[in-house]
Every structure is written in C-alpha cells, then in structure tokens.
Amino acid sequence: MDMKKVSAGKLRAIGHDAAAQVLRAEFDDGKINEYHGVSAETFRRLASSGSIWSFFRDNIEDEYTAKRVK
C-alpha cells in the first residue's frame, strides 16, 4: 500500500487499498492502525481535505473500528 506523507495533527502518513477498502494511518508515536470498510471516496475526501486531522477525527476515527498493526 502506498503511503502519503502528511503533517496533520498526530497523523504522519495515510494510505488506502481501494480493493480491500482499508485505510492505513501512521501516527507521530509510530503506531499504525488500519480501518476496514473505508471507501475510495472517503479516502479521497480525507486526502484532499483542508484539515486532514479534523476530517480523520470526525469521519474515520469515530466511524470505523481501528485495528492496530504496529
């Protein structure tokens, strides 16, 4: 999965697997979480948001269950 580097709140990188509908988020503490069921459209909206951290908190963190992978 390709990761896009970001500097947004606690996020340092985000990536998405459209076929599996999995969003991967890397945080400033090195933790990596995956969120399953995230559509390509939701990821597009996240990646292009003017406030990625706010979008993530409001639309990903509260709506999808996190699975820690690192």
> What's the pLDDT at 6?
97
**15-54 pLDDT, tens per residue?**
999 999 999 999 999 999 999 999 999 999 999 999 999 9
**46-62 pLDDT, tens per residue?**
999 999 999 999 999 98
DSSP letters, the chain, are --EEEEEETTEEEEEEETTTTEEEEEETTS-EEEEET--HHHHHHHHT-SSHHHHHIIIIITTS-EEE--
